[in-house]
Amino acid sequence: MVAPAPAKGERIAKLLARAGLCSRRDAERLIAEGRVSVDGKVLTSPALALAGDHDIRVDGKPIPEAEPARLWRYHKPTGLVTTHRDERGRPTVFERLPPELPRMISVGRLDLNSEGLLLLTNDGALARDLELPARGWLRRYRVRVQGAIDAERLRALEKGVTIDRVAYGPIRAVLDRQQATNAWLTLSLHEGKNREIRRVMEHLGLMVSRLIRIAYGPFQLGDLPRGAIEEVPRRVLREQLGASAPAGSRRHADHRR
């Protein structure tokens, strides 16, 4: 049997998840069932961390070969949850993707009733990097609201706001168009907390009736049709990420859906 090693390298459950075989939780289950081996020995603990090359197998079959880190722009429609499995049986983003694509994860999330740009990647490390607040990337949204717009309170959002003891960072809100009781706003923020826009608008007495993300940092929704997906060229990825751009290939990658 393989005993846990000192914590260096990457944990085996993470490697299996990044190989596109399953989630980390499912990887731990496979290990507990004795279905995972490392260098010919059955693994007994998900705490094992590995560095370098190893013969990792599940049910006797080698895990998939490495594939380059890739990024896609996806125009998420409303009515889909951004998860691989939903306990309530609601349709998910990943069920709607073309079957020939690799197993992917999202960069951040959009809730059930939100739409627009969702970045997807086959690489967990890239997803975490793109989510880092330290990047300073703006997320921009077009938001339709119902209610009376108070221009002064909109401007005050640039100083941040605290609602029910939750502190939200600066939000730049621009009124684009007012139509009777409806208005369109463009909101820009750096770090979006869960349902942040809806809660902040509700705090201002406004009800959000439509929320569309149009940009995530340098990546734009543009004219991508609803439900369509398009890969970001690797050249563009390198240009936007600079020194932190992923290498052309890596030892372990999410390879399958």
Q: Write down the CATH number for the domain with range 71-134+218-242.
A: 3.30.70.580
Name the architecture of domain 138-216: 2-Layer Sandwich (3.30)
Q: Active-site residue 59, yes or no?
A: no
Q: How far is CA 139 from CA 54, 82, 162, in A?
A: 40, 17, 20
Q: Are 92 and 110 in contact (CB under 8 A)?
A: no
183-193 pLDDT per residue, tens: 999 999 998 78
116-136 pLDDT per residue, tens: 999 999 887 788 889 888 888
Q: What are phi and psi of 215, to 5 degrees?
A: -160, 145
Catalytic site residue from 111, 164, 176, 254: 111
Query: In the prediction, which pLDDT does 252 show?
Result: 37
Q: Does the structure show a pLDDT above 80 at 63?
A: yes
Q: Are 234 and 246 in contact (CB under 8 A)?
A: no
Q: Given its phi and psi angles, is residue 242 left (phi above 0), alpha (psi -120 to 50 degrees) or beta?
A: left
Give pTM, 2 decimals: 0.78
Q: Are 72 and 103 in contact (CB under 8 A)?
A: no
Q: Which residue has 């970045």 as its token pair?
A: 119
- 160 confidence band (pLDDT: 50, 70, 90): very high
Please name the fold of domain 10-62.
Answer: 3.10.290
Q: Does the structure show a pLDDT above 80 at 7?
A: no
CA distance 47 to 6: 9
Nearest to 106 by CA among 81, 88, 133, 135: 81
Q: Which helix (H) or strand (E) holds 211?
A: strand 207-216
Indicate the domain borders of the chain: 10-62, 71-134+218-242, 138-216
